[in-house]
Each structure stands twice: as C-alpha cells, then as structure tokens.
Amino acid sequence: MIVMGGIVGAGIFANPSEVAHRVHAPFLILGVWVVGGVFAMWGAFIWAELATRLPAAEGGQYVYLREAYHPAVAFVYGWGLLLVTQTGGMAAVAVIFASYFHALTGVGWNDSVIAAVVLLILTGINCLGARAGSNVQSAFMLLRIAAIAGLVLFGFALGGSSLKSEPSLAIPTSLGLLKDIGSAMVPIAFAYGGWQTATFVAGEMRDARRDLSRGLLIGVAGVVALYLAVNFVCLRVLGPAGLDATTTPASDVMRAAIGPRGAQWIAAGIAISTLGFLSQSMLTGPRVYYAMARDGLFFASVGKLSERSRAPVIAIILQGLAAIVIACSGTYGQILNFEVTVDFIFFAMTAASLFVLRWRQIGSDTVTYRVPGHPFTTVLFVLSCVGIVGSAIVASPPNSAIALGIMLAALPVYYYWRKFRPEDS
C-alpha cells in the first residue's frame, strides 16, 4: 500500500490523453505504459538497496548524493527540488485539478488561477501542522481509489466500444516511431514517479530483505495493472482519436458510460483526490530543505519549526510560492517537460551512486537487500533515465532549457554560500 500510494496520484487521470497525443496506435499506447512499469520496477529495486545502506538518511536522495559524490551535488539536487522537480510536480497536479474543476463547475476562471488558488489554500493548511496536512491526505486517499475503480468498472461495463469504428492508423517510420515513443515516455515517467518514497521506511521493517523486495514487486506490478486497465478503458470507450482530442479523458469515459451525471461524479472524485496528492507533496519536500539547512547550505530559518504548530512554515511557504509560479508559467504538457528534465537527471545520478557506495563500502554493515541483476539492471536504468531526459529536451527545448538553467545556477550559489554565508542566516 505504501508503494502504490506513493505512485498513484492525479497523473493517471490526465496522462492517457498526453500519451495519445504522442503515439496513436492502441498497441503502442498500451505498450509504452508497460515499458514505464518495467522502468519503475528497476528504479524501485535500486532505491531499496540505497535505503538499506543508509537507513537513517533523512532527506533521501539528498543524502545519497552527498555521501556518494560531494555536498555540491546534493545542494544542486535540493535546489532543483525546490525550484523545479517537487514544485513542478505540484504545479502539474494543480493544473489537473483545474481541468477537472472546469469540467465539474463550468467556472470561467483560467486554469492557472485555479491552480494557484488551490496551492495557496493547501500551503496554508500544511502550515497548521503535520496532523492537519496528513488528515487531509488520508481523507482524500479513499476517494482516489474509488474514482479509479469507478472509472474502470463503469467504463468497461457501460461505455461501449469505439475501437471497432476507428480507422487504421499509419505507423511512422522507425526513426519517427522512436521519437514518438521517447516523447510518450515523458508523461508516463511522471505518472509512475513516487516508487522511491516507499524506501524511506526500510529502516523500520522487521525483515527489509524480504518485505521491501516483495512490497516493491507487488506494489509496482499492481500499479502497472491498474494503469493498463485505465488506459484500456479509455481506448475502448473513446478510441485513440477521441483520447487524443480530450484533456479530461476520465470525465469523457464516464459521460459515455452513464451520462452527464457520471462525468460530474468522476470529475469531483478526481478534483478532490488531487488535493490529497498535493498535500502529501507539501509534507515530504521540506525534509530535504531541513537537511540542507543542517549542512549549512540553506537559510537557517528554513529549518526552523513554528512554535505553535511545530511545522516548518518557512519551508512550506517557500515551496508553495515556487509551485504557484510554475503553475502560472505554462500548460500541463510544458510543465511535465520542465519537471521531468531535471528530475530524471537526478534519478540517473542517484542510481549511479550505488556503484560509488558499493566501491567505497558505505553502509555495508547495514545492507539487508541487494539489487537483483546489478550491475546490468542498474546500468539499464541509468541509460533509460538519460533517454527520458533527452526525449523531454527534444519535445520542448525552451522549457527544458529553463529547467536546466535553474539547476545549473545552483553551483555558483553553492560556492558563494560556502564562502560568504552569514552564520545566523
């Protein structure tokens, strides 16, 4: 449940259409989702070993990168998390909320405005403390499960089939096909993201070697089955062309299955469930900013807790404001490219850190789990990450360039901070 809860968010309700924009044949649409699931499985195994090597590492990837490479690399990761990846993911999910909020209410507000408002509200809730944020998240988790189950069951049973009436689709040339598949992997990689968060509890498991590996295998496999079911129903009811033409595939499937009321029900369930995912993101991100502050690489105020709520209010507000800026800066597809470009650079570097940690024997006395098929599976994962980054850059060069520029700007900031930072900043 931890593995599946970390992966399943709002992306599955919007990304089937994003994938259909990029590949158009039904077998390709379903096939790339399978490939994405295999990729997620590889990554989950790597993070499982990293977590058992450094089981008490608060900050996750930040600590793995710091221990394997250099504090500068860890700082660049934390900087990117705050200004690109964590906040970019939050912004993308907020835009999904806005799309389904439109479908539910018909309100004439701009998507960016709606996304900014919901981010502002949830930032305020999480500033009240971890209990308030976690209660919101827990309440919305059941609605997320119910929305997915309703979409699959009603869509399959009552939605009819558009696949029989679809014209045959021409398959592009081999070079064009590779480009299309690479482009489709960008939204898929975003939808499968989150498997790494389950490894944070490895140090608290009675038998991490057995339970973590089983949990990762069953959890990721369960998500693959769930995602394939959603995409199959979307294709069956809407067809590839209809899926390509919509931005709210779940609402369109339910409208075809049980009419306008069904579209409203699913839109409400999705809109509400996105809020739980956003709340989770706001709770987890500040752990890294804490670690940076403890290392003397960020403002000390970011690592302070509110005396009243015991929440890292400054870190939460800073993260929320960054997400609002990104949400107002582009469309959902553009934000995906912006976020994935940097996120998967650090996924590749973190996976490669396993070679360094093994070579230097870091955490060897706490290792209870080893990656199956290493070094081959680890190398394949790293190369896949590089391919996804390249696809994101090709799909949207301007957005990727902005993301890379923000990431690289961290280096001069790091060295300036190390040399000139005030002691009581």
pLDDT tens, position by position, 181-223: 888 888 898 888 877 776 655 655 677 667 777 787 788 888 8
The model's pTM: 0.80
113 C-beta neighbours (distance < 10 Å), count? 13
pLDDT computed for residue 112 by the predictor = 85
For residue 358, the model assigns a pLDDT of 94
**SS3 (DSSP) at 304:** coil
Is residue 283 helix, strand or coil?
helix
Residue 225, token pair as written in the block: 């089955």
- Superfamily of structural domain 2-420: Amino acid/polyamine transporter I (1.20.1740.10)
Distance CA 68, CA 34 (A): 32
Calpha distance 196→206 (Å, rounded): 19
The pLDDT assigned to 424 comes to: 47
CA angle 119, 123, 124 (to 5 degrees): 120
What are the structure tokens assigned to 36, written together?
Answer: 């994405």
Contact 89, 193 (CB under 8 A): yes
Contact present, 425 and 363 (Cβ < 8 Å): no
Write out the two tokens for 254. 């339910």
Regions of the chain with pLDDT less than 70: 56-59, 129-142, 159-160, 162-175, 198-205, 208-209, 280, 283, 287, 306, 309-311, 421-425
